[in-house]
Amino acid sequence: MRTNFQHLLIHQEEGVLTITMNRPEVLNSFNDSMLEELTEAVETAASDEAIRCVVLMGAGRAFGAGQDLSGFSAVQDNGEPLKVSEHLKKYHRLIKSMRAMPKPVVGAIRGVAAGISCNVALACDLRIASDNARFIEAFARIGLVPDGGGAYFLPRLVGLGKAMEMCLLTDEVSGPDAERIGLVTKCVPVDEFPGTVAAFAKRLANGPTRSYGLIKQLLYKSMEIDLQASFDLEGQLQDEAFTTADHKEGVTAFLQKRPAQYTGR
Ligand code: T3D
């Protein structure tokens, strides 16, 4: 993993890769360069066996404020109407790569997560928030629809009623409220946030990584298929899980009454 990104900070330690979006002067809002760099980092992490958990966070006081609006215009320089759907494909690639990553991706949300940054947080497998977190489906504030998969992820996480409320009213959801409605796994006081995120990520990085990757596949796919198809998929993935060293270690450790030492293989 290269570390010389313009808009990302990269830190790798003991199986945990922490990617920090680093445009704090604009609350880590996305420009094209940061989006491309983040996609590259995520896709590189996916195939790096030394990385067993990825943490995504923002520098400074925010997770992210969505698309950078300073260069945002309804028309392109040549006067043609902007085809936003073409631009969105870059976000879609990032989000699909996060979901397909065969290891856990944790969103660490301190401060505001608005617009497409909120939806990138929702695309993470798990989320930890600080008590000053603010989740805002800000799109309707500027006359847009939720993009970056927000309309897909949000109702699945919190139900259609709450999702509709967040998207139509665009009111902020605080960290504690996000925990209450199931939007995040855990919300902690801001001074405990770095330690909590580090411990959570370390726990995941020490887990049975291949099993985690298969669990992601099974849960995400099962949201889209019927029961029989889910049974078929669980059989196929369980066959694969049975061949892993971590499965063998888990059973051996249980029988020897000791903690398992997973290697991610
Ligand atoms: O192209 C496509 O693919 C389309 C995709 C669209 C996806 C989207 O994400 S649309 C939604 C875009 N985001 C927003 O609408 C949110 C805009 N920001 C805000 O509403 C507020 O900044 C926040 C509620 C997020 C935070 O408020 P607050 O009071 O904590 O901070 P602030 O003072 O508003 O912002 C601090 C600075 O960041 C400020 O700059 P300054 O005055 O200090 O020079 C502000 O202009 C800048 N900033 C915040 N958000 C953005 C931004 N600059 C550019 N783009 C932003 N999105």
Q: What is the CA radius of gyration of the chain?
A: 19
Tokens 């847009």 correspond to 144
For ligand 1, the distance from its centroid to the CA atom of residue 26, given in whole angstroms, is 7
Ligand 1 near 241 CB (within 6 A): no
Please choose from 27, 137, 166 the residue to mutate so as to test ligand 1's pocket, defined by most ligand atoms within 8 A of CB.
Answer: 27
Q: What is the pLDDT of residue 125?
A: 98
- Residue 25 banded pLDDT, cuts 50, 70, 90: very high
Tell how strand 16-21 and strand 8-13 pair up: antiparallel
Closest ligand 1 atom, CA of 87?
3
Distance CA(45)–CA(3), nearest Å, equals 12
The residues that bridge with 107 in the sheet, in sequence order, are 56, 127
Q: What is the mean pLDDT of residues 35-44?
A: 98
By C-alpha distance, which of 187, 183, 212 is closest to 197?
Answer: 187
Q: Can you give the pLDDT at residue 8?
A: 98
Give the residue-averaged pLDDT of 19-38. Answer: 98
Its pTM stands at 0.96
Question: From the CB of 116, is ligand 1 less than 6 Å away?
Answer: yes
Q: Give per-residue pLDDT as tens, 63-98.
A: 999 999 997 765 566 667 778 999 999 999 999 999
